[in-house]
Amino acid sequence: MEDSPLQVLHFPTTPYPDQRPGTGGLRRKVFVFKSKINYLHNFVQSVFSSIDLRDRQGSTVVVGGDGRYFNTTAIQVIVQMAAANGVGRLVIGQNGFMSTPAASCVIKKFKAIGGILLTASHNPGGPDGDFGIKFNTANGGPAPEDVTEKIFQISRSIEEYAICPELRVDLATIGRQSFDLENKFKPFTVEIVDPVESYANMLRNVFDFAALKELLSGENHIRIRLDAMHGVVGPYVKKILCEELGSPANSAINCIPQEDFGGQCPDPNLTYATDLIESMKSGRYDFGAAFDADGDRNMILGKHGFFINPSDSVAVIAANVFCIPYFQHMGVRGFARTMPTSGALDNVAKATKIQLYETPSGWKFFGKLMDAGRLSLCGEESFGTGADHIREKDGLWAVLTWLSILANKKQSVEQVMIHHWKTYGRNYYTRYDYEHVDIDTAVEMMLDLEVIITEKAFTGQKFTIGDKTYEVEKADNFEYSDPIDGSITKNQGLRIIFKGGSRIIFRLSGTTLSATIHLYVDSYEKDVNNLFLDPQVKLAELVNIALKLSQLCERTGRNTPTVVT
Ligand code: VG1
Ligand code: CO
């Protein structure tokens, strides 16, 4: 306990116009947070001010991050501001580290009113990289739109912030620290916790750890390779997969969190997860997976790098959902996918007569459905998969889910996938990202395309390439009406749906700092003789139609995308 109470001070500040959170929180270049006066303070104050004072007084808030550059500096400021804003207790991950799924779990465990997560997720880190702040609410999930909008509105007219500038916390030592504050009746407390333990505990109740241990270290064990990509999930992989489930130490790579993620983009896809892809080629490993910096994304690979498309991944899990004890106990109430995710999950929903929901991109829309007891399993094409055990997508959960299926089916990753396609048909899928394009060009392209596709005559229009004709059945700018509270979310991507179900979708990224155009293309195939084509060949005609319609190459000056999934 400090000798004399710490001062609570109020400082004037001027607002920034650009603090509207995107698909996954507020993301900016490190230098913006670091050098623009009060940029961080303004946003953090706006987050606290968005919470009713009665709810805030004496409450618990969780804080943690993906360990990127500026993580601990930002946490020290958040601690000082939380204390000054009436928060009673902060629960912080040791050394400021906490994966996003672990934060979701810890928020519930400590009955917190929310959590502040310092992460820019899959975006690059380091002094020249990106920094980000996400705010999660009491259910453990990303703040819904009305909350992020409120935060944004406050940030536009903020006049002062509150802070205890002398308060310093020791982030390294597990345990409780108390601080007496001026004019405060009760001390402010900080609890430094090991989030790995809370998270592992939760997973022990979701999976059959004995069966997984047998799979990974029993007599006929398989070999796995997991790439934490220098992000925050490394210690979780080590503890759960290696120490507890007995996988050898060399099955986990890049497991020490680094401020700049080793200079790599911590994005688990076919372009950036290079170490994993390289080591899978040798054929020494039966199963491979990579995670993003904050541990909520996952990429699954089979032997020789057999790639599981994330849209297929959630469908495979849905089809084999009862291989996981959690679902055996809880049952399955509904499935959901984001709009650009392929219809593979829809096929399983149809066959099992389970309700399917289609939401905009981003995890926040799933949480409401889960809280209302309507949703059990969901996924995104962007390497996000999860369930209602928490309110965030969960990379390690996805890995243990796949391993549970392998253990149960006694099949390889490839066999599981092929069996799935033979049963349900295959949704060929590809996503092209055009990163760092000129923002005005991108916005203009989207506006013009919207005009074209929403003209009345567009529906019914036919596109013929070679001997194939695609007829437009429906085209719109996707809009979501929330089945729980009726709220409407507009402008979520341009979709062109053809007869037979093939789709072309255009969307602008809401997480990258420079403009990124996403082009998503999918096409359903049920003929068993056509299940093993190269998606790029199979989808070439549709991609062609998309590029012609949008004039993307001419407008952006790009002939090829920067990332292909
Ligand atoms: C991207 C993905 C979206 C995902 C979001 C946050 O958003 O497309 O599906 O939910 O990132 O993921 P956008 O708006 O850039 O396309 V994470 O792991 O970066 O929090
Ligand atoms: Co992430």
| 374-425 tens-digit pLDDT | 999 999 999 999 999 999 999 999 999 999 999 999 999 999 999 999 999 9
436-471: pLDDT as tens digits: 898 899 999 999 999 999 988 899 988 888 778 889
Specify the residue with its C-alpha closest to ligand 1, atom 12: 24
| pLDDT per residue as tens digits for the range 120-175 | 999 999 999 999 999 999 999 999 888 999 999 999 999 999 999 999 999 999 99
Is the separation of the CB atoms in 174 and 192 below 8 Å?
A: yes
Point out the catalytic residue in the list 121, 251, 311, 313: 121
Buried b (16+ CB within 10 A) or exposed e, 407-443: bbeeebbeebbbebbeebbbbbbbbbbbeebeeebbe
Nearest atom, ligand 1, residue 362 CA = 10
**Has residue 60 got a pLDDT over 80?**
yes
Residue 453 and residue 503 in contact, taking contact as beta carbons nearer than 8 Å: no
Could you identify the atom of ligand 1 that is nearest to the CA of residue 134? 20
Closest CA to 461 of 436, 490, 497, 509: 497
Counting ligands in written order, the one closest to the CA of 382 is: 1
Q: Specify the residue for token string 């399993």.
A: 377
| Cα distances (angstroms) measured from residue 551 to each of 444, 445, 547 | 11, 8, 6
CA of 24 to the centre of ligand 1 (A): 6
Which of 269, 435, 511, 512 is the best mutation target for the ligand 1 pocket, counting ligand atoms within 8 Å of the beta carbon and taking the most?
Answer: 511
Q: What pLDDT does residue 218 have?
A: 92
pLDDT at 2 over 60: no
For ligand 1, atom 10, the nearest C-alpha belongs to 362
CB under 6 Å to ligand 1: residues? 23-24, 121-122, 292, 296-297, 338, 361-363, 380, 382, 384, 509-512, 518
pLDDT for residue 24? 79
Q: Residue 507 CA: which ligand 1 atom is closest?
A: 16
Atom nearest to 122 CA in ligand 1: 19
Closest Cα to atom 8, ligand 1: which residue?
A: 382
Alpha carbon of 408 to ligand 1 centroid (Å): 31
* Structural domains present in the chain: 9-195 (3.40.120.10), 200-424 (3.40.120.10), 426-564 (3.30.310.50)
- Exposed/middle/buried for residue 322 (C-beta within 10 Å: 0-12, 13-18, 19+): exposed
DSSP code of residue 184: -
Among 361, 383, 392, 513, which is best to mutate for testing ligand 1, by the most ligand atoms less than 8 A from CB?
A: 361
Q: What is the pLDDT of residue 3?
A: 67
SS3 281: helix
CA-nearest residue, atom 18 of ligand 1 = 121
pLDDT at 91: 97
Instruction: For 175-200, give one letter per residue: b (16+ CB within 10 A) or e.
Output: eebebebeebeebbbbebbbbbebbb
- Which residues 6+ apart lie within 8 Å of 364 measured at CB? 141, 142, 143, 144, 145
Taking residues 516-534, what's their average pLDDT? 91
Residue 185 has pLDDT above 90, yes or no: no
- The Cβ of residue 344 has, within 10 Å, a number of other Cβ atoms equal to 31
Question: Does residue 157 carry a catalytic annotation?
Answer: no
- Picking from 407, 66, 410, 97, the residue whose alpha carbon sits closest to that of residue 245 is 407
CB atoms near residue 447 (< 10 Å):
10
Q: Tell me the CA–centroid distance for residue 369 and ligand 2, in Å.
A: 21
Q: Which residues neighbour 491 within 8 Å (Cβ) at sequence distance 6 or greater?
A: 477, 479
Share of the chain above pLDDT 90, in %: 83
- CB neighbours of residue 235 within 10 Å: 20
Cα dihedral 362, 368, 374, 378 in deg (nearest 10):
20
Q: Is the pLDDT of residue 516 over 60?
A: yes
pLDDT, one tens digit per residue, over 305-345 is: 999 999 999 999 999 999 999 999 999 999 999 999 999 99
Ramachandran angles phi, psi of 364, nearest 5°: -60, -25
Q: Which two tokens stand for residue 135?
A: 């705010």
pLDDT at 314: 98
Ligand 1, atom 1, residue with closest C-alpha? 511
For the chain, the maximum distance between any two Cα atoms, rounded to a whole number of angstroms, is 83
Examine the pLDDT at 356 and tell me if it is beyond 50: yes
What's the 464 CA to ligand 1 centre distance in angstroms?
Answer: 33
Per the prediction, the chain carries an average pLDDT of 93
pLDDT in tens, 241-284: 999 999 999 999 999 999 999 998 999 999 899 999 999 999 99
**pLDDT surpasses 50 at 1:** no
